[in-house]
Amino acid sequence: IDKYGLKALAGLIRMENNNQTKVAIGFDLNKLNDLSDLGPGQKLSSKFRSPWLETTRSDVIPAYKLPKEIIELNRKKRYFLPPVATRMNKLNEDTLFYLFYTKPKDVLQEFSYRELHGKGWRFHKELKVFLIRDPTARVLEQTAEGMRTVFIFFDFQSWIRVKKEFVVYYNDL
């Protein structure tokens, strides 16, 4: 019990055990790396990346070398990959759903939505899921506001497609 009481605290303050002192009281970051030249408006992260990192950011040398051909293509602005938007039509639906749900507020989310929309998938605003009309099912009821038929819903939580008879109102899409 003494090791957690006031007697132990007195020893900690006197710095009898250096390792315990560093954990309990803290450690001066200036001693870890030469940060004395850190300006008043300069952030610590610009000079000091981590206490466990052996080198500074400027000392890091990549462990790979780009082939000369790629460097030359980039220098001449002849990129070897076409823009992402032109390659989206080659992706399957699962990949497009993955991009849509894992890249929020990203250009890939928008491109994947456009491609899914082009393949017939519609995003239901209220249910927050994609759905598509089952091409093998007949329309059971249709009005100016919507239709009742069998739809295929994409369940993004279990990553499966589920068929259901459903009434869709066009203003919800």
**Tens digits of residue pLDDT in 80-134:** 566 778 888 889 999 999 999 988 888 889 999 999 999 999 999 999 999 999 9
Are 103 and 109 within 8 A, CB to CB?
yes
> What is the pLDDT, as a whole number, of residue 53?
57
More confident of the two residues 82 and 70: 70
The pLDDT value recorded for residue 67 is 79
Pairing of strands 129-133, 122-124: antiparallel
Which residue do the tokens 């080659």 mark? 90
Residue 132, H or E segment: strand 129-133
Residue 28: pLDDT band (50, 70, 90) is: low
For 84-172, CATH gives 2.30.30.1020
Of 83 and 153, the structure prediction assigns the larger pLDDT to 153
Q: Distance (Å, rounded) from C-alpha 51 to C-alpha 67? A: 34
Which of 25-29, 113-117, 134-138 bottoms out in mean pLDDT, i.e. has the lowest?
A: 25-29
pLDDT exceeds 90 at position 162: yes
The pTM of the full predicted model, rounded to 2 decimals, is 0.53
- CATH 2.30.30.1020 spans which residues of the chain? 84-172
What's the CA gap between 6 and 45, in Å, rounded? 37
The chain-wide mean pLDDT, for the chain, equals 79
Q: Are the C-beta atoms of 144 and 168 separated by less than 8 Å?
A: no
